[in-house]
Amino acid sequence: MPDEKPRFSAGLKRRPALELINHIFFRPLGFLVVRLLWSTPLRPEHLVVLHGLLGLLAALLLARRHFLTAAVLLQLVTVLDNADGQLARSRGQESLLGRYLDTEVDFMVHLALFLALARICGTGSALVGLVALTLLLSLDYNLAHAASGREDAAPEPGAERMLALVYGLLFGWQDALLRRLEKGLPAPPAWLYWLLANLGRTTQFVVFGIALALGRPCAYPFFLILAASVVFLVYAGRIWGSTSTRFPR
């Protein structure tokens, strides 16, 4: 049974590095939502569906060039995205179902947003931006997951297994590839955790929102390409350093 009142510390997610803008602004706002919903029958999964629908609405508004309204909605999506995890951890309602649902709804929103960007900025930059965002978020997730030392649990039959299958098709191959890459490299430096954490979804939506508020949505894919290029150079350096250590000249 959950406590009579939610505790901020109980909803925090343990990570090797903090996403600063999330920690300072959006996590406290998410906790306010938790407090409002604490005594209601609403579950974390309901919040996932809600912020997914709001994200799709933001994509529709973006496609119709209502940039400022879309920007504001994306920040609301971030608040609710923080709240669903905090609510789950505070109530002891964490589940694989929630994890898979959250990831897949997030991807659906990302896909809709970049389809909207494709109408405005062209297919090429939108596609490269979507790939860059997916890669950055996957790297952050897999590094944090490896640092936690937790093993993936087997999904239960039913909805959980179905969502696990969808997750495997979308991201399973990517997770396996990134984890195999990390096994061949030395332990990541602490600053790499920080870098990837601060290129996380909250920061991404803040940058996207700023670009929209300034009336320049096409600047966002270029930000993603720049960020992904920096991370690519970091990994290229790690791979080169690992190869030089194993095969010295």
Interatomic CA distance for residues 105 and 107, integer angstroms: 5
pLDDT digits (tens, 9 = 90+) for 104-134: 999 999 999 999 999 999 999 999 999 999 9
What proportion of the chain, given as a percentage, has pLDDT over 90? Answer: 83
CATH 1.20.120.1760, applies to 8-146+156-246: yes
Confidence of residue 150 (pLDDT cuts 50, 70, 90): confident
Q: What is the CA radius of gyration of the chain?
A: 19
Q: CB neighbours (10 Å) of residue 34? A: 25
Interatomic CA distance for residues 74 and 94, integer angstroms: 24
Domain limits of the chain? 8-146+156-246
Q: Cα angle at 190 between 186 and 195, to 5 degrees? A: 110
